[in-house]
Amino acid sequence: MSTLEMLRRAVVDGQVSTAVQITNRAVEEGIAPGAIFESALAPAMDEVGKLMQRNEYFIPEVLVSAKAMKASSELLKPLIVQSGLSQTKAKVILGTVKGDLHDIGKNLVSMMLEGAGFEVVDLGTDVTAERFVEAVKESQPQVLGMSALLTTTMLQMSKVIEALEREELRAGIRVMVGGAPLNQSYADEIGADGFGMDASTAVQMVKTWTVREQEG
């Protein structure tokens, strides 16, 4: 079994210390942190989701898998962020919308953005429209990113966009949305500027918006 395959298994099985050990081994073997995310950690959480759907996993199992995923990501974070430290580019506000506590995907987007040199203001989970608006006023970011993992909470995203419009903040900012239940047509429907299906698409999108504008 390859190191990445072993890591994927350890996360699915919720073996926290094994996941940490194998992550260290993967780094020693010279596997890029981004590849560790994309080829081991993200597929592991996908599998956990499928097990949950089939009622083979319940909340306690999902939580230990999430803990293993978190422990592994924490080891990788400094490695990813280090590469982006030299140049600070645009500022991005990120948060998981009101009623939603899923933050693994958002944290991944945050780490990858920091790794690409962007400044991230992470508002955490269960973020209300008012809090997003307040943070935009405070931090004046170029981009606002919202995450939702539940079909019920994704509806909150349009509330945030409406609140930005009411406060006349919408024109000055790009809005991107993401999370498993979303797609491009939903993003279009609520008037977001972009949809990202994964963390690298998010980085690409922010680069296209901000780097081009700074140059032009």
Asked if 109 and 199 touch (Cβ cutoff 8 Å), the reply is: yes
Residue 189 or 216: the one with the smaller Cβ distance to ligand B12 is 189
Measuring CA to CA, which residue among 84, 4, 80 is closest to residue 36?
4
Q: How far apart are CA 144 and CA 25, in angstroms?
A: 36
Q: Give the full edge-to-edge strand order of the sheet including 143-147.
A: 119-122, 91-96, 143-147, 174-178, 194-196
Q: How far apart are CA 109 and CA 111, in angstroms?
A: 6
Residue 170 or 216: the one with the smaller Cβ distance to ligand B12 is 170
Contacts of 48 (CB under 8 A, 6+ apart): 11, 12, 57, 61, 62, 65, 66
Tell me which of 25, 181, 188, 189 binds ligand B12, using CB under 6 A.
181
Asked if 193 and 175 touch (Cβ cutoff 8 Å), the reply is: yes
Tell me which of 11, 202, 209, 210 binds ligand B12, using CB under 6 A.
202
Using CB under 6 A as the binding rule, whether residue 173 contacts ligand B12 is answered as: no
Q: Which of residues 115-154 bind ligand B12 (CB under 6 A)?
A: 145-147, 149-151
Tell me which of 1, 55, 59, 212 binds ligand B12, using CB under 6 A.
59
Contacts of 73 (CB under 8 A, 6+ apart): 37, 41, 107, 108, 111
Binding range to ligand B12, per CB under 6 A, among 5-13, 16-24, 27-35, 106-114: 106-114
Q: How far apart are CA 186 and CA 209, in angstroms?
A: 20
Using CB under 6 A as the binding rule, whether residue 114 contacts ligand B12 is answered as: no
Smallest gap from Cβ 195 to ligand B12, in A, equals 7
Tell me which of 11, 93, 97, 104 binds ligand B12, using CB under 6 A.
104
Q: Which of residues 147-166 bind ligand B12 (CB under 6 A)?
A: 147, 149-151
Q: How far apart are CA 194 and CA 176, in angstroms?
A: 5
Tell me which of 4, 19, 40, 66 binds ligand B12, using CB under 6 A.
66
**Per-residue contact flags (x/-) with ligand B12 for residues 12 to 31, judged by CB under 6 A:** --------------------
Residues that bind ligand B12 (CB under 6 A): 42, 45-46, 48-49, 52-53, 59, 62-63, 66, 99-106, 108-109, 145-147, 149-151, 176-181, 196, 198-199, 202
